[in-house]
Amino acid sequence: MDALRKSVIAGSWYPGDPSVLRRDIESFLNSVPDTESAGVVVAIIAPHAGYIYSGQVAAYAYKSICGNNYDAVIVVGPSHRVAFSGVSIFSSGGYETPLGIVPVDKELAIQIKKNSKLVSDIPAAHLQEHSIEIQLPFLQYALGSFSFVPLVMGDQQADTCQELARTIYASAQGRKILIVGSSDLSHFHSYNKAAQFDGVALRHLQDSDAAGLLDSLASGATEACGGGPMAVAMLVASKMGATEARVLKYANSGDVTGDKSSVVGYAAAVYL
């Protein structure tokens, strides 16, 4: 029997009631100004905090894909709770949210595992991990029915990012896919210090400069818990022929709570 990964954050990180969840997502999206798109979005970067903190920022990325059709979505997130090397894939079954079950694209998952020894099934990496699940209700609202492949990065070294991007691109040949890089930015600095750290990351996102982002993270010039997933999203987008990068929104938790003494940064970006 294929595995069903039950929600572990519904009712806390986002509403557990389907009607309330839909209403909140719709409200977030309605607050994003309408813009014209000059191409098909192939990758997005979105935050993974609780919706009360980062949902409005995430909506900027998700509004850009509303109504689009993709053969599959690949969501790449960092591991917050389980330490391991390489990348963990959830290769069959589905993830459940209050809006329903999102099925895993088993064929694509098998191909990704086949194409890289870096990727393996480590079920524990997915059980309590929020960075993948938090993206799904937005995706369900924006796309309707879709299948996906969840990938949790146990390490975010540059060579891991390069290999994972190569594997995703090679495995997705002949498919129209969307890559979601799940990441927050700096954590627990003052408002002004966070803006300084996050400004470095934002410049790399705007320039689609994955190598520069990873270098800045390694040197401590910027911070992000999902720097690897962001880099992978940019690298795959480049391989897919994306020529335009847009940082659509930046904010931090201080903008929501009013407490600017210790904040977490959030960004939304798209690649097309």
Q: What is the mean pLDDT of residues 146-169?
A: 97
Residues 6+ apart with CB under 8 A from 194: 185, 186, 252, 254, 263, 264, 265
Q: What's the token pair of residue 199?
A: 């400004």
Confidence of residue 4 (pLDDT cuts 50, 70, 90): very high
Q: What is the CATH number of the domain that holds 136?
A: 3.40.830.10
Percent of the chain having pLDDT more than 90?
A: 97
Sign of torsion, CA 27 70 40 225?
positive
Helix (H) or strand (E) holding 78: strand 72-78
pLDDT in tens, 71-98: 999 999 999 999 999 999 999 999 999 9
Buried b (16+ CB within 10 A) or exposed e, 115-150: bbebbbebeebbeebbbbbbbbbbbbbbbeebbbbb
Whether 254 has a pLDDT exceeding 60, the answer reads yes
For residue 261, being part of any structural domain is answered with no
Domain that holds residue 104: 53-176+199-255
For the chain, what is the mean pLDDT? 96
Looking at the domain assignment, is residue 203 inside a domain? yes
**DSSP H or E segment with residue 201:** helix 191-206
> What's the DSSP call for residue 93?
S
* Average of per-residue pLDDT across 130-151: 98
Residue 113: CB atoms within 10 A of its CB come to: 19
Say if 225 falls within a structural domain. yes
**Domain count of the fold of the chain:** 1
Rounded to whole angstroms, how far apart are CA atoms 221 and 230? 16
Question: Using one digit for the tens of pLDDT, what is the confidence trace for 191-223?
Answer: 999 999 999 999 999 999 999 999 999 999 999
205 within some domain: yes
40 within a domain of the structure (yes/no): no
Per-residue confidence band for 260, with pLDDT thresholds at 50, 70 and 90: very high
Dist CA 102 CA 95 (whole Å) = 5
73 within domain boundaries:
yes
pLDDT greater than 60 at residue 1: no
Q: Tens digit of pLDDT for each residue in 55-73?
A: 999 999 999 999 999 999 9
From the list 245, 250, 230, 248, the residue with the least C-alpha distance to 45 is 230
Q: How far is CA 222 from CA 59, 136, 184, 200, 265, in A?
A: 24, 27, 12, 6, 11
Q: Is the pLDDT of residue 38 over 80?
A: no
Whether 217 maps to a domain, the answer reads yes
Mean pLDDT of 150-179: 97
Mean pLDDT, residues 250-264? 97
Answer yes or no: is pLDDT of 243 > 60: yes
Residue 28 lies in a domain: no
pLDDT tops 90 at residue 174: yes
pLDDT score recorded for residue 42: 98
Q: Which strands form 4-5's sheet, in the order they lie side by side?
A: 4-5, 94-97, 100-103
